[in-house]
Amino acid sequence: MVIGAGVIGLGIAWRLAQAGCRVDVYDKGEAGRGASWAAAGMLAAAVETEPGEEPLLPLTLESQRLWPEFARELLAATGISVEYRDEGTLVVALNRDDAETLRHSFDFQKSLGLDIEWLNAAEARRREPHLKPGIAATVFSRNDHQVENRALARALIAACRGAGVNIREHCAVAELVTAGGRACGIETAQGREDAEIVVLAAGAWSREIGGIPAAHQPPVRPIKGQMLAVQMDPKSPLLRHVVWLPRAYLVPRNDGRLIIGATVEERGFDTSLTAGGMLALIEGAWRGVPTIEELPIAETWVGFRPGSRDDAPMLGPSGIEGLVVATGHHRNGILLTPVSAAVISDYILRGKLSDTAKPFAPQRFSQPRSASLVEAAK
């Protein structure tokens, strides 16, 4: 049984059903309408890696490697394309200050062996003529691709149903049921359901499920992101690559929408769109691609990234027998969908956590605080 029908819960459910398990997925709302719907769909293992995030890299690179086959498999199973696009990502510095910062990230990412390339301004504008004249420098990351995350959610829902998964929408899980310290089911408004294994994949809401002692609750919090989309002419889009600017990123979609994201805010589950948030995104995008000025706004929205204490996901045993955790994917959950589905289904079926997933076991947060402080003081 899986709590949460986002891309993480659905991906795991699909893999388990393919292996012959009976799987029920519960969602408090419509399936696939949480962060998975709100995301930009970038599969950016390279350009998003910042100092301190090196431990996450083997996981993000592994998922990036799995993505093309995952997309093909979904298409074959459902007929739904997730619009996997492989033009790559450009990171643009607008002035000399930005170029210094970009050089610093470039040197760091290069030192990790990532396949990125420094381009001069003329070369960048040859690839993307709508970039403003006079940009300072650009980095090209050929392996940072993108998918249409809403199509991904639709495809996973169809794949799950096709494999026999029972998706129960508008049925919130109120609490985990335990007996003798072991998870054995869940409680919803419609009653109690027994389960051999419960997977907690409720994204930013994962701490709201009752019945889990505080020591075993995943330390997840919502990180609000405001986004908007402007409408390009799909026959002559302004951009082909994903473009990162100093204060916004732009993601062109096949249907002509150009996604502009995203704010990063600690405001709990506040769903409001703010003038300041929209201003920052539009201005940030306009500074690099001034021609967006002419484009109609197609949509605005808010989503909640499931943030964890170290910005890395929690994958594996919760500390309560029978309860497995798959949450905290923060800004990488679309990228990490294939690998999360693989490692969690594998753990449930074989009882072993893969080496790639071991550093992300939820128990890393249950170390006594004093012990980690002693470590830090050494």
Binding site for ligand FAD (CB under 6 A): 3-9, 26-29, 33-36, 38-42, 172-173, 201-205, 208-209, 225, 227, 261-262, 303-306, 327, 329-335
- Decide whether 99 or 324 has the Cβ nearer to ligand FAD: 324
Query: Dmax of the chain from CA atoms?
Result: 67
Taking the C-alpha atoms of residue 17 and residue 345, their distance in angstroms, rounded to an integer, is 9
In 294-316, which positions are buried (b, 16+ CB within 10 angstroms) versus exposed (e)?
A: ebeebeebbbbbbbbebbbbbbb
Of 127, 164, 226, nearest in space to 17 by CA: 164
Tokens of 322: 């029978």
Least distance in Å: CB of 269 to ligand FAD? 11
Based on CB atoms, which residue is closest to ligand FAD, 103 or 348?
A: 348
Of 33 and 247, the one with the shorter C-beta distance to ligand FAD is 33
Q: Are 19 and 350 in contact (CB under 8 A)?
A: no
- Bond into 40 cis (ω within 30): no
Q: Which residues contact 368 (CB under 8 A, 6 or more apart)?
A: none
Minimum distance between the CB of residue 126 and ligand FAD, rounded to whole angstroms? 26
State phi, psi for 13 to the nearest 5 degrees: -60, -40
Question: What's the min distance (Å) between Cβ of 346 and ligand FAD?
Answer: 18
CB of 306 or CB of 316, closer to ligand FAD? 306
- Of 40 and 289, which CB lies nearer to ligand FAD in the complex structure? 40
Q: Shortest approach of ligand FAD to residue 177 CB, angstroms? A: 14
Shortest separation between residue 30's beta carbon and ligand FAD, angstroms: 8
Terminal CA-CA length for the chain? 43
Question: What is the nearest approach in angstroms of ligand FAD to the Cβ of residue 42?
Answer: 4
Question: 29 or 129: whose CB is closer to ligand FAD?
Answer: 29
**Which CB atom, from 14 or from 304, has the smaller least distance to ligand FAD?**
304
Query: Shortest distance, CB of residue 253 to ligand FAD, whole angstroms?
Result: 12
By C-beta, is 125 or 308 nearer to ligand FAD? 308
Closest distance to ligand FAD from the beta carbon of 102 (Å): 20
Reference 340, options 314, 320, 359, 362; nearest CA is 314
